[in-house]
Amino acid sequence: MQSVYWMEFAARQGDVNSLYEIIENDPCVLQAIDSIPFVESPLHVAARAGQVQFAAEIMTLKPSFVWKFNPQGRRPIHLALQNGDTTMVLHLIKMDKELVRAKRREGLTLLHLASESGDIHLLTEFLKACPDSVKDLTVRNETALHFAVTYRKLDTLRFLLRWLTTNTVELQAILNQKDVDGNTILHIAAANNDTQAMQLLIKNMTDLDAANLSGETAFDIIKDEEIKKNLGRAEARVKIIKKVRWLMVSMREWLIRKTGMRGKMSDEIRRVYMIVATLVATATYNAAVSPPGGVHQIQAAGTIHLESNSSKVYEGKSVMSSSDFMLFSITNSSAFILSLISIIFMMPRNLGWVLLHTPLHQTPHLPTNPFCLNEDRWLKEVMTKREETLRDTKAPYFGGKKCMLEGTEYNESSLEEGQLDLI
């Protein structure tokens, strides 16, 4: 017991030398502490006191301490975050990225807590370290989005929506997640009478008519008739846009299935197809500008050259007959459009891909936050973070774990850069 007391004192002071002196006198002291199911370990004490070096030393000696609950149901990293010690939090995550998903009492993760406080910088770091953490739920089945809406953190909500749109194929599943009472984030926004959040969610969510356990939809909860009327009009406009988007996405998925243009296509084959499609687009564009046979030209004397079988022609008109020109225009335009579509489908995930695949409702006119000062900067930041994550995990969207995409199995070996084009 004496050793445990002095170990706690050393942790509070951050005295690494005393740590090893205690271990020298009592080699089993750390094991004795670890044998207690719920205990205030030296790592808890160091995390609360902000002693980064001591915490790193303890994690090296006894890695299991990092996952240990204290009697209040908190792990060391939760105490550091609770005290606002960003340096300690990021240092612990650097040593073990899975700590982002570490749950404290009530099932709250770091992402839930950062969403509650509205700390976009920490959210960025957490999602960069562990993208899958965005899917974690509390014991009440709440996502980080539930916390952002509940605590009226509008900038946090915008950030999370943008991140989800760019980085996950499970966007709608996460947005439409219901808590234990059956409430979606739209229900919570309606209960809070948060008009801005509701407008933002209506643009992104598909299941706007979801009912909670009481049988109420989000629009049933709204009390203010004027707000309900305005949101109803917004919903009608968004539904039209969503139908167009659904048609475009369905067509895209159908073409991909039919043509076999899968995300696992090798870079070499992708480049060959891109070159062919680009050549077709160039040729058809030139043909549209200069149709076969040319066009009637004005002569030097100011007259137009007439063919013997022509009654009347106009400068710039194609020399082909009207029926031939119509047939040429239809086929040439079809080839041009299809080649452009092929180019878009086969583009790798770079800045151009993000711009071309951003949903119709995403515009640079959304209110800014400290993380997104403008659209260009945001897109650049997203792609930079994706590349860094790819280097760290080889699977930026699935944390290096095996996954299924449209019936095709992928694992780490197939998730190299350029080999996964999410639908």
pLDDT tens digits, 361-373: 444 333 333 333 4
Question: What pLDDT was estimated at residue 401?
Answer: 38
Mean pLDDT highest for which of 146-155, 163-172, 248-257, 388-397? Answer: 146-155
Question: What pLDDT was estimated at residue 3?
Answer: 85
Q: What percent of the chain has pLDDT over 70?
A: 64
Question: What pLDDT was estimated at residue 98?
Answer: 94
Q: pLDDT tens for residues 39-94?
A: 999 999 999 999 999 999 999 999 999 999 999 999 999 999 999 999 999 999 99
Q: What are the phi and psi torsion angles at 318 (to 5°)?
A: -65, 145
Whole-number Å distance between alpha carbons of 264 and 271 = 13
Contact 332/287 with Cβ under 8 angstroms? yes
383 confidence band (pLDDT: 50, 70, 90): low
Contact 382/353 with Cβ under 8 angstroms? no
Q: pLDDT tens for residues 91-135?
A: 999 999 999 999 999 999 999 999 999 999 999 999 999 999 999
Question: What pLDDT was estimated at residue 313?
Answer: 58
Q: What are the phi and psi torsion angles at 136 (to 5°)?
A: -70, 140
Question: What pLDDT was estimated at residue 207?
Answer: 78
Q: Is the pTM of this model over 0.85?
A: no
Whole-number Å distance between alpha carbons of 232 and 219 = 8
Q: pLDDT tens for residues 250-288?
A: 665 565 555 555 445 566 777 888 888 899 989 888 888
Contact 68/34 with Cβ under 8 angstroms? yes
374 confidence band (pLDDT: 50, 70, 90): very low
> Does residue 305 register a pLDDT over 80?
no
Tell how far CA 235 is from the center of its chain. Answer: 24
172 confidence band (pLDDT: 50, 70, 90): confident
- Calculated CA dihedral for residues 179, 184, 189, 193, nearest 10 degrees: -90
Taking residues 212-231, what's their average pLDDT?
78
Using alpha carbons only, give the angle 68, 70, 71 rounded to the nearest 5 degrees. Answer: 140
The DSSP result for 238-274, as a single string, is HHHHHHHHHHHHHHHHHHHHHHT--TT--HHHHHHHH
Whole-number Å distance between alpha carbons of 225 and 51 = 54
Taking residues 290-310, what's their average pLDDT?
58
Taking residues 141-166, what's their average pLDDT?
94
Compare 88 and 391 and report the one with higher pLDDT. 88
Which residues lie across from 318 on neighbouring strands? Answer: 295
Q: Furthest-apart CA pair in the chain: how many Å?
A: 115
Question: What pLDDT was estimated at residue 235?
Answer: 60
Question: What pLDDT was estimated at residue 388?
Answer: 58
> Does residue 406 register a pLDDT over 80?
no
Q: What percent of the chain has pLDDT over 90?
A: 43
Question: What pLDDT was estimated at residue 341?
Answer: 82
Whole-number Å distance between alpha carbons of 419 and 421 = 7
Whole-number Å distance between alpha carbons of 46 and 129 = 23
Question: What pLDDT was estimated at residue 419?
Answer: 38
328 confidence band (pLDDT: 50, 70, 90): confident
